[in-house]
Amino acid sequence: MPSFSMSRISENQVTPEEIFFKKRRQMLIAGMLTGSSFLDRTVYAKDGLTSDDENAGALKATPIELITNYNNYYEFSNDKKAVKVLAQDLTLHPWTITVDGEVENPFTIDIDDLTKLFAMEERIYRFRCVEGWSMVVPWTGFSLARLIDRARPTSRARFVAFESVHRRSEMPGQRAGSLIWPYREGLRIDEAMHPLTFAVTGLYGKPLPKQNGAPLRIAVPWKYGFKNPKAIVHIRLVSSQPATSWNILAPSEYGFYGNVNPLVSHPRWSQQRENSIGEMKKHSTLMLNGYADQVAYLYAHNDAKALY
């Protein structure tokens, strides 16, 4: 069985997170019995490391208190510990998401209708910020491909552009200069359609907290955190590579691809190790954040830029 580090918690301190993991453990057993491999892959990612490397074993989720109190969300603040409080001012209703551009079936859908369209899944992903810290996050959501398929992309659709909400009245960081607003991110269409690319609506089996990107954010586990846009309102299929916020600000520091690569240093620091939030020891950073087996083929014929 995977270790979820529950051993130090006594029975009278059961939290929603523990209930989540108990449920998940049951799902794991069910998955093994039915031969479904999805949970095996996400929980037991060995990814080519030797077994004595601390980052090679089963994934242990970061405690929810850490995931929800240490956030990069520049619309609110560049102080990670201030985001949580400020983000509570964001109004989530009504909220619509538009999917359009190079598609046969453009649509706008309310977030409440959207979450009813697809069966929800839970996935535990590594999450690695370009700044050198990491977490392990149990997300709830659905494959982004299902949402994009619904719009029926044309053959001209080669990239997917994401836009986060632009609402100066509720987002103090948008009233100050820093990034270009709204926050913009993008993926190549084959990256966006990859089964690991996840549209996230929940965390630890509960609705996604505002500071983590409610009501809808993207999780692309083999890319640095900045490629995981929060509070998405617009998904546009486009024919050429879209401009993205961090890349506009500092192209030499934040590439369009943003693939986790321990061999390519950031101009100001090495990317070989990471500080796992909530743990004492640093970990080795894995090629493509530990998902190389599943995604390296996407870059097999690509130029060197895709390596970071």
- Binding status of residue 197 toward ligand MTE by CB under 6 A: no
Evaluated on CA atoms 15, 16, 18, 23, the torsion sign reads positive
Among positions 186, 202, 225, 242, the unique one binding Mo ion when judged by CB under 5 A: 225
Which of 72, 140, 244, 271: binder of Mo ion (CB under 5 A)? 72
| DSSP conformation class of 55 | T
The nearer residue to ligand MTE, 121 or 131, going by C-beta atoms, is 131
Does residue 129 touch Mo ion according to CB under 5 A?
yes
Query: Does 77 interact with ligand MTE (rule: CB under 6 A)?
Result: no
Q: Which of 183, 204, 222, 257 binds ligand MTE (CB under 6 A)?
A: 183
Binds 75: which of ligand MTE, Mo ion, none (CB < 5-8 Å by kind): ligand MTE
Interface with ligand MTE, residue 72, by CB under 6 A:
yes
Assess 245 for contact with Mo ion (CB under 5 A). no
Show the site string, 132-151: x = touches ligand MTE by CB under 6 A, - = not.
--------------------
The least distance separating ligand MTE from the CB of residue 211, rounded to whole angstroms, comes to 6
| Structure letter (DSSP) for residue 241 | P
Coil, strand, or helix at residue 248? helix
CA atoms within 13 A on the CB side of 234: 13
Q: If DSSP states are collapsed to H, E and C, what string results for 7-18?
A: CCCCHHHCCHHH
CA torsion angle 159 165 167 172 (round to 10): -100
Q: Pick from 255, 261, 225, 260: which is nearest to 243 by CA?
A: 255
293 contacts 40 by C-beta, under 8 angstroms: no
> Does residue 256 interact with ligand MTE by CB under 6 A?
no
> Which span sits near ligand MTE by CB under 6 A: 72-80, 96-104, 267-275, 299-307?
72-80
- Phi and psi dihedrals of 161, rounded to 5? -110, 130
Q: Which does 74 bind (CB under 5 to 8 A by kind): ligand MTE, Mo ion, none?
A: ligand MTE
* Three-state secondary structure string covering 155-201: CCCCEEEEEECCCCCCCHHHHCCCCCCCCEEEEEHHHHCCCCCEEEE
Report in angstroms how near the CB of residue 133 gets to Mo ion at its nearest.
Answer: 8
Please tell me the distance from the alpha carbon of residue 294 to that of residue 298, in angstroms, as a whole number: 9
Which one, 20 or 70, has the nearer CB to Mo ion? 70
Cis before 2 (ω within 30): no
Of 239 and 275, CB closest to ligand MTE: 275
**231, 287, 292, 306: which one binds ligand MTE (CB under 6 A):** 231
Determine if 299 is a binding residue for ligand MTE (CB under 6 A).
Answer: no
Q: How many residues does the chain have?
A: 308
Residue 247 binds ligand MTE, judged by CB under 6 A: no
**Closest residue (Cβ) to ligand MTE?**
225
Give the whole-angstrom CA distance, residue 233 versus residue 218: 12
Interface stretch with Mo ion, choices 84-92, 218-226, 229-237, 261-269 (CB under 5 A): 218-226
What is the contact surface with ligand MTE in residues (CB under 6 A)? Answer: 71-75, 129, 164, 183, 212-213, 225-226, 228-231
